[in-house]
Amino acid sequence: MPDLDFGIEGAEVLEYAAVPSLLFKLRVENLEEEPIRSVSLNTQVRIAATQRHYDTAEQQRLLEVFGAPHRWGQTLRSLLWAHTTLQVPRFSGSTVVDMPIPCTYDMEVIGSKYFHALEDGEVPLEFLFSGTVFYAAEGGRLQVARISWEKEAEFRMPVRLWKETMERYFPNSAWIRLHKDAFDQLYDYKVRMGLPTWEAAVEALLRASEQGVER
């Protein structure tokens, strides 16, 4: 019966995709001898947030994710980033396949908040694998086996890759999601004040708010 082993050999920005994506190079190796016909692979990707250091500025930007730094002993924890499904084609021994992970700049998503808060360094990632292996037994008969639940891989992804992905797809931009009523009010304010862009509308509201606080 096949015994698959997994490893992440690298990552890069996926240049041409319908949505912002990172491309991970996934090595799949069969520790036994059976030829593999295909693998239906499910992967959960988690951010092992406890496995890196955070400077003071990053700690402040992570308040919404983990709370105040003095509470991190209780609140700092692993975060779910993504789920993905991949079909690994026929191979014998080992193979390396591309595993794209879609990214988002939606700041309502916990992973985006985390990545946005980091300045540089690396993000410790955990890849948890499950799925089905189709392989050729003796005589060429097709057999099916499940991937063992304890199969995992680790990878330390440079923070710059996520930032490069966002800059490629959303140059000099960021995104927030508003409730419909809040958007309608902001749009009405923009029109009434004759402001040319959304940035101008938000900046005008921020200035008015700061002036109110000063008074």
Per-residue confidence band for 215, with pLDDT thresholds at 50, 70 and 90: low
Alpha carbon distance 51, 56 (integer Å): 16
- pLDDT of 107 higher than 80: no
* One-letter amino acid of 149: W
Cα 184 to the center of its chain, rounded Å? 31
Per-residue confidence band for 158, with pLDDT thresholds at 50, 70 and 90: very high
Query: Looking at the whole model, is its pTM more than 0.75?
Result: yes
Per-residue confidence band for 127, with pLDDT thresholds at 50, 70 and 90: very high
Cβ-contact 4, 28 below 8 angstroms: yes
Residues composing the chain: 215
Question: CA-based Rg of the chain, rounded to a whole angstrom?
Answer: 23
| Residues 6+ positions from 195 with CB-CB distance below 8 Å | 189, 201, 204
